Homo-oligomer: A and B are copies of this chain.
Amino acid sequence: MAEISRSELDEIYDFAVQLGQDAGQMLLDAAKLRMGDGAASKEQKEHIEKENAVDLVTETDEDVEAYIKSQITSRYPSHKFIGEESYSKGSSRDYLIDDEPTWCIDPLDGTVNYIHLFPMFCVSIGFIHKSKAIIGVINAPFLNQSFSACSGRGAWLNGTQKLPLIRNPIPPMPENAPKGCVFSCEWGKDRRDVPDGNMHRKIESFVNMAAEIGGRHGRGGMVHGVRSLGSATLDLAYVAMGAFDIWWEGGCWEWDVAAGIAILQEAGGLVTTANPPTNHTNAPIEDVRLGSRLYLAIRPAGPSSTETGRKSQERTVREVWRRVRNLDYSRPGA
């Protein structure tokens, strides 16, 4: 297995940040063509009129992934590449990440937002080595926000503001978490109206987290706010920022979360599984498995007078597990 030196890693990080910027610009340029004041050429305008927004976005998605892939392949020909677009077209959804240096890319996360030009979309670039996401770059061009992290180098907003944003000191998780927490969650694509389907399991969990203390047969969590952005990648970025305290989600693939997990872990956050283990009050809290499709993320937390930051995160994990249902997402063949 190839080792990577500190200086090589720093170089890869710089390359990834620049790649994120260039790819983000491509997304923004393509979005502007669809806007009224876009400087589209006559050919572009005819092209836009002929296709619908969804087709145009699919095209951009593929173009951006091809660009990223070509940049990586020419700079690092020995590295593996896993991209959403190329992966989706393959016949298998096996878990492909191993110990080799691997790039894990989503050219466009928040596709629905991008189609509707809601600013919460981004390009997501993760670099994985020895099965761990160690570099993450998330570029959200319509928000002018770039999140990045490299193992040992800290996590950053726009390269200048260290994450989490509030850090003198970094606050512990609230004493009565999830009360006082901003809870981030997504409705997702599985909308089947079957009593025990994922949509109803999610809703039941969301309502438990939101309801007043004492409500829901003692499961009411009275979170401070419930947020849904439509981008798993940006959810993770805002957990790393400390703006969201808790993110709970099932169904994402590794390219949706690789960069975000790298950034969140480097910022001091905790990522584990969404599904409560049988003995959820005592079970060990295991590090997330990148290909698990089930994620629970807790923001960076500092110590209080009675607890370490990690303890307060783990306490929060158990309080979430107490309120959520198991979600039914597996891998083909898993």
Contacts and interface: CB of A to CB of B under 8 A. Distances in A.
Contacts of A227: 118, 228-230
A191 interface: yes
Copies of this chain, count: 2
Interface in A166-188: 166-168, 182, 187
A215 B241 CA distance: 38
A34 B244 CA distance: 16
Nearest to A222: B191
A143 B20 CA distance: 19
A165 B35 contact: yes
Contacts of A238: 118
The 9 A-B residue pairs whose C-beta atoms are closest, nearest first, are A193-B215, A118-B243, A36-B167, A187-B226, A112-B225, A193-B211, A228-B228, A191-B212, A35-B165
Contacts of A193: 211-212, 214-216, 220
A50 interface: no
Interface string A43-54: 001000000000
Contacts of A166: 34-36, 117
Interface string A208-252: 001110111000101011111110000000100111110000000
Contacts of A182: 112-113, 116, 118, 230
A168 B220 CA distance: 48
A161 B118 contact: no
A291 interface: no
B161 A113 contact: no
Given A119-B143, A199-B211, A225-B112, A161 B35 contact: yes
B224 A226 contact: no
Interface of A: 34-37, 45, 112-113, 115-119, 143-145, 160-162, 165-168, 182, 187, 191-193, 199, 203, 207, 210-212, 214-216, 220, 222, 224-230, 238, 241-245
Contacts of A241: 117-118
A215 B191 contact: yes
Contacts of A211: 191-193, 199
Contact of A162 (B37, B212, B222, B244): B37
B191 A220 contact: yes
Contacts of A191: 210-212, 215, 220, 222
A116 B187 contact: no
